[in-house]
Amino acid sequence: MNFQKIIIVVIMDILLIAELCISIYIANKTPEMLTPVFMKYFFTMCIPTLILAKLSMNVSQKPIYNIFSILHSVWQGGAYHAGQILRSGQPPNGKS
C-alpha cells in the first residue's frame, strides 16, 4: 500500500468517527426518535464519504503526470499529441 492510500484511509477513518459523533449528538436531542434520527444523519454523511474514499483510491492508482510536461507536449506537438499521451498511459518523452 502506497503513502497516498494510507493517507486516504486515515482521513476516511477520522471523517467516519466525526460523522458518528455528530450523528449521536444530534440524535440524542430527541430520545424518543433516537434510532431513526441517528440513521438518517449517519448514513446521509457516511455514504458520500465512502464513495469519495473509493474514488480517491481509484484515482491514486492512475499515473500522475506533471502539468509542465503536459504543457510542454502541447507546445511541442499540439493538443492532439498531449491527448494521445494521456490516453496511452505513457509518460511524455518516454520518461517515468
Same domain assignment for residues 11 and 39: yes
Same domain assignment for residues 46 and 73: no
Is pLDDT above 80 for 77? no
Same domain assignment for residues 5 and 47: yes
Same domain assignment for residues 76 and 50: no
The conformation of residue 62, written as its DSSP 8-state character, comes to S
What does the pLDDT average to over 42-66?
82
- 19-31 pLDDT tens trace: 999 999 999 999 9
The conformation of residue 89, written as its DSSP 8-state character, comes to T
Same domain assignment for residues 10 and 38: yes
What does the pLDDT average to over 5-32?
94
Is pLDDT above 50 for 12? yes
Tally of CB atoms within 10 A around 85: 19
Same domain assignment for residues 75 and 94: yes
pTM: 0.62
The pLDDT, as a whole number, for residue 45 is: 94
Same domain assignment for residues 15 and 50: yes
The C-alpha cell that represents 81 in the structure block: 499529441
- Percent of the chain at pLDDT above 70? 62
The C-alpha cell that represents 72 in the structure block: 510542454
Task: Count how many domains the chain has.
Answer: 2
Q: Domain range spanning residue 27?
A: 1-62
The H-assigned helical ranges of 1-96 are 3-28, 34-61, 67-88
CA angle 42, 14, 1 (to 5 degrees): 120
Same domain assignment for residues 72 and 58: no
